Chain A
């Protein structure tokens, strides 16, 4: 048994300097603390004393106070941590098999839920178009402007810059083989079929997809979606449909503008670096790009638009909790949106080119 004299003032410095030593002692033997002269106990010291007593008890020892001053007793009582029952611990992880089963079930219910949402989206859009349900007048044109038209500058600028880069690179390679003339073929086919719609989809998934999710998620969090339910509005026709219709119209146009911008950048390179005449560039371009290529682009863009709106609306409307979940939902939309449009693009390529 060790006996220790407590100083007159138990302050932060005492707790930090002596606390550790007392802990070691308390694990080994019974402790007697002489506290008759204690005039001041700060919050950290009181905590330290309680901690030492709990440690001692866990190791089968005791901590006794010898003739404690009233100040010491009062302070210990004021900062009492309660009975010695252990604090509740976090739930232990469940067995592997159970977790596997749970995640399997999660996947199934996730797919079923996504399917139901997709069906609801189609039916809701149909209800709005056929005027069986009513939305806010002009909601679709507002979305058309916000999701489509206002994204045009960034889409055109970025595809133009990428077009310029690719054209410079390809122009050099083609010049080596004396085939500079086929820069028009390369730029035409790659931008109309692939780069235009794909790059547009990536930009729109980031720009408009995140905007949709952020708006719908904050509406869900602030009970606006609940309120709409109680007014008799269905989220599929009131919130999702205008966004789907807007992007279905906007995306094909954006893709065409994107392709045109890339091809125009190719023209700049053809004229100024390779010394071709604009007329020749267009002649070769018209020969290599066919009408079905453009139709294919339009179709692909419409599919991309559907994927982006589906993901963005689902993530937004499924948001629960506080404002931190709004940010998480938005991030998910951007990642999933880009991922699934690239997957869809690959499927298109496999079907068409194989």
Chain B
């Protein structure tokens, strides 16, 4: 079975509106991502980055609009969604490894869910990915025994074990020290080059974005403020986007001070 868009746009979002309860978070977001690009989704807190990712991954059902990953709507369970899921990987913020399984078992888990026994070929593939991220020695450790950076690397191995065409990363460098964060960035870049992986990362880490991103999607208050290349964003982007990269703090909402009346 093949998917409608096996070549062409790997992710297309059209007029996406989404939120929680009655609170609207995303107001009409449209975006297309081509195969092989590295795209950073950024914006301040509350801008709708995480909601965007959750809707794209099919973890929330959009209010309206269309979301397709590799041509499939992930929020509708079925063979098409399953096929798309098997060709993508997700690196969650804290790794989200299954607590009751060891690092090795976690890495084999995607294959086991495809009906492959966790031995033989599955073991070799998991070992290959774990050595790629430098974690093969942690094979029999449980997630609780790992540091934050190690958990992320193991989760990356798990996300890569089915050789995905597209990898989603939620804040890849959040909670890591600068050195570990750069190591992870370089690892992602290397994987992008060697596997031709399409990378979609939600981030607000300027260093990571500058190092990795080719194109950026800047969300502000649930709408797309800028969609284009990184160079374009730095040179001709809206003030807010340029301020973001220049680390200028937005001071528009500061309160007027009260004044005391004085008499001589």
> Which A residues form the contact surface with B (CB < 8 A)?
32, 50, 53, 62-68, 73, 76-77, 80-84, 133-134, 136-137, 215, 218-219, 222-224, 226-234, 238
Contacts and interface: CB of A to CB of B under 8 A. Distances in A.
Contact of B263 (A32, A80, A82): A32
Contacts of B256: 82-83
Interface stretch (B29-37, B84-92, B225-233, B237-245): B84-92
A84 B113 contact: no
Interface stretch (B41-49, B97-105, B134-142, B189-197): B97-105
Interface in B136-165: 155, 158
B3 interface: no
Contacts of B105: 136
A46 to B, nearest CB: 11
Given A65-B261, A226-B59, A232-B85, 8 more contacts: A64-B263, A68-B260, A215-B99, A222-B99, A227-B96, A227-B97, A227-B98, A231-B109
B114 A134 contact: yes
B94 interface: yes
B118 interface: yes
**Which of the listed residues A215, A223, A231, A232 has the most CB atoms from chain B within 10 Å of its own CB?**
A231
8 residue pairs, one from A and one from B, having the closest CB atoms: A227-B96, A82-B255, A223-B96, A230-B90, A232-B85, A65-B262, A80-B257, A134-B115
A232 B82 contact: yes
A224 B90 CA distance: 12
Interface residues of B, number: 40
Contact of A62 (B101, B117, B155, B261): B261
B261 A64 contact: yes
A165 B59 CA distance: 53
Given A136-B105, A136-B112, A83 B258 contact: yes
A232 B86 contact: yes
User: What secondary structure prevails in chain B residues at the interface with A?
Assistant: loop
Contact of A230 (B88, B99, B117, B257): B88
Given A64-B262, A64-B263, A231 B113 contact: yes
B93 interface: yes
Nearest to B92: A223
Contacts of A137: 112, 117-118
Contact of A231 (B85, B93, B261, B263): B85
B92 A227 contact: yes
25 contacts: A53-B258, A63-B260, A67-B262, A80-B257, A82-B258, A83-B256, A136-B105, A136-B112, A137-B112, A137-B118, A215-B100, A219-B99, A222-B94, A223-B92, A224-B97, A226-B57, A226-B59, A226-B92, A227-B96, A227-B97, A229-B57, A230-B57, A230-B85, A232-B82, A232-B86
Contacts of B101: 136
Contact of A65 (B110, B114, B168, B263): B263
B58 interface: yes
B252 interface: no
Contact of A73 (B99, B260, B263): B260
